[in-house]
A and B are shown apart, each in its own frame.
Chain A
Amino acid sequence: MSAEKFQNPVVRWIDHRLPIFSMLDHEKYDYPVPKNLNYMWNFGVLAGLSLAIMIITGIVLAMSYTAHVDYAFEAVERIMRDVNHGWMIRYIHMNAASFFFIVVYIHIFRGLYYGSYKAPRELLWILGVVIFLLMMATAFMGYVLPWGQMSFWGATVITNLFSAIPVVGDSIVTLLWGGFSVDNPTLNRFFSLHYLMPFVIAGVVVLHIIALHRFGSNNPIGIDASGPQDTISFHPYYTMKDMVGIAVFLLLLAIAVFFFPNAMGHPDNYIPANPLQTPAHIVPEWYFLPFYAILRAVPDKLGGVLLMFGAIAVLFVLPWLDRSPVRSARFRPLFRIFFWLLLIDAVALGYLGGKPAEGIYVVLSRIATAWYFLHFLVILPLLSVFETTKPLPKSISEPVLSRSKSANAPLGAGLEPAE
């Protein structure tokens, strides 16, 4: 079947022996994609792009970096001052890390809204949560490498989380450190793992994509495609739609890199690490703040750690907490309200995580934490039973056809109708 597909004899020769071109061709044309995906479906590709940017700039930075407590800070400054274009490459690496998290958070909330975690896509979702966990570990270790004040104290605080484990906690922390505090051995192993983990992530991403292609993308309506009239080929339609997303993503990233490179960082990380003096007010990178708020909301050390990890663990079992057969929030009026409340709750947690752990902030953190778990553990299971959902359309084409006039409005194409 592949032989006559390609005009180029070299391509044909290779493809006969190594059918990579057939595979690409298959993904481009034969893989059916629902025709009604909106721009929220760009964020998977954007996350992949972010990972690629991080790996490429990271490999390049590693060429000039020195993983030693006496030289790491200086090595980064040398990159910023002396290495050709080093400042640009480092600022891209710094800001693309934040953008990676922004993109992935939107990707996650898109999945939550449109019920993309529901059967038969439970494993697809779980692999996504695995990627998210690996990203957090990678980002945390990467932030230690410049060996500034926040690097050092972030590493100290986060590794100390493991000391909450009963009996073996202290031994585990000593093992992680390779000593009795965060020091040179810690920095070296973090560098090693920070270099390794992105490739592990890339491997899980491949699994994520294999799982995705088993049943294809979910869509804003959340019902399965019923035939060819509901789907279009990936190329050129979604390649071009993804191009728009990539262009906007790169534009925003460029604005951050070239005009606000340190806006998402912390000034204290431009002070070399000092193991004898903690900064007045230490905070993790912004993308960890919601989890940090949950950690601090609990007055008990072990309880806080458990709850923080529980906040992610709950995502693993989400497909079995929300049993409603209707996927998309478009047809679930109550779920939709709670979805937005959850988003507000998550942002509130992020805000509270950046505030000092005192007074009103502690109370609010506790309320927000309680709401987070209430949403997943109580509200979703109850909603699956008691919510009256709106009637589902018969096929993807039906509502698409009915609004084909309005969809052609300038720039309105691609936005779904009001919900």
Chain B
Amino acid sequence: MAKSDIKKTTASKRPEDPGRRDFIVIATNAMAGLGAAAVAWPLIDQMNPAADTLALANIEVDVSKIAEGQSITVKWRGKPVFIRHRTEDEIARASATDMSDLRDPESDQARAEKADYLVLVGVCTHLGCVPLGQKTGEVRGEYDGWFCPCHGSHYDTSGRIRKGPAPTNLEVPPYTFLSDSVIRIG
């Protein structure tokens, strides 16, 4: 059978699509579209954090064992969280800072629920490195807070950006004191 013969004849006789204006045909096609869209959602939503990931989205930390002047780092949502038990001197310096000196003005009271404990997400706001200054003996930068070695950002004792390329202060994660010694982050 020569295929080209059929082609010539049928091509000239293109049918008027009988379904174009028919309600039932339109409804069927609409349902097919709706179904496809509904199926897309689970396939996309599966990329969102799973239940076991969400279960670790908030953690509880006992801060009573941190000696004054010491810091601890805990992991929260895959990122380091700095908790520093600040000395009187550090608190005094943080709250005495003049707002006009700050690139991203924020008072120390607004950043620490209890002045003794400063809780920060330990990720430099410049390009995501982890700043130094947690362990005794580490470089703390010119403002005695934290220093990011990647591109030289200096943070003060309230975690605010003072010098270097970072645009904003170190982020304060959402947290609450469940008791005097336990905080819940997240």
Chain A residues within 8 Å of B, Cβ to Cβ: 29-30, 32, 56-57, 60, 63-64, 78, 81-86, 88-89, 214-216, 224-228, 231-233, 235-236, 240, 243, 250
Q: Which of B5, B7, B18, B48 contacts A30 (CB 8 A)?
A: B7
Known A215-B3, A224-B1, A232-B15; judge A78-B50 contact (CB<8 A). yes
Pairs of residues from A and B, 3 with the lowest C-beta to C-beta distance, nearest first? A85-B42, A224-B1, A228-B9
- Listed by A's residue number, 16 A-B pairs whose Cβ atoms lie within 8 Å are A29-B10, A29-B14, A56-B43, A64-B46, A78-B50, A78-B52, A82-B51, A89-B46, A215-B1, A224-B1, A225-B1, A227-B9, A228-B6, A232-B15, A240-B19, A250-B35
Which of B1, B28, B52 counts the most A-chain CB atoms under 10 A from its CB? B1
Give the residues in chain A near B5, CB-CB below 8 Å.
227
Q: Is B17 an interface position by the 8 A CB rule?
A: yes
Known A29-B14, A233-B15; judge A216-B45 contact (CB<8 A). no
Establish whether residues A84 and B48, one from each chain, have CB atoms under 8 Å apart when the complex forms: yes
Q: A252: shortest Cβ distance to chain B, in Å?
A: 15
Establish whether residues B3 and A216, one from each chain, have CB atoms under 8 Å apart when the complex forms: yes
Q: Which of A63, A216, A232 contacts B46 (CB 8 A)?
A: A63
Q: Which of A89, A216, A243 contacts B42 (CB 8 A)?
A: A89
Which of chain A's residues has its CB closest to B35's CB?
A250
Give the residues in chain B near A235, CB-CB below 8 Å.
17
Establish whether residues A85 and B51, one from each chain, have CB atoms under 8 Å apart when the complex forms: no
Chain B residues within 8 Å of A, Cβ to Cβ: 1, 3, 5-7, 9-11, 13-15, 17-19, 25, 28, 32, 35, 42-43, 45-48, 50-53
Q: A35: shortest Cβ distance to chain B, in Å?
A: 11
Establish whether residues B45 and A30, one from each chain, have CB atoms under 8 Å apart when the complex forms: no
Give the residues in chain B near A63, CB-CB below 8 Å.
46-47
Which of B6, B7, B51 counts the most A-chain CB atoms under 10 A from its CB? B6
CA A89 – CA B32 in complex, angstroms? 19
Establish whether residues A240 and B11, one from each chain, have CB atoms under 8 Å apart when the complex forms: no
Which of chain A's residues has its CB closest to B49's CB?
A84
Establish whether residues A85 and B25, one from each chain, have CB atoms under 8 Å apart when the complex forms: no
Give the residues in chain B near A82, CB-CB below 8 Å.
50-53
Give the residues in chain B near A29, CB-CB below 8 Å.
10-11, 14-15
Establish whether residues A227 and B15, one from each chain, have CB atoms under 8 Å apart when the complex forms: no
Give the residues in chain B near A89, CB-CB below 8 Å.
42-43, 46
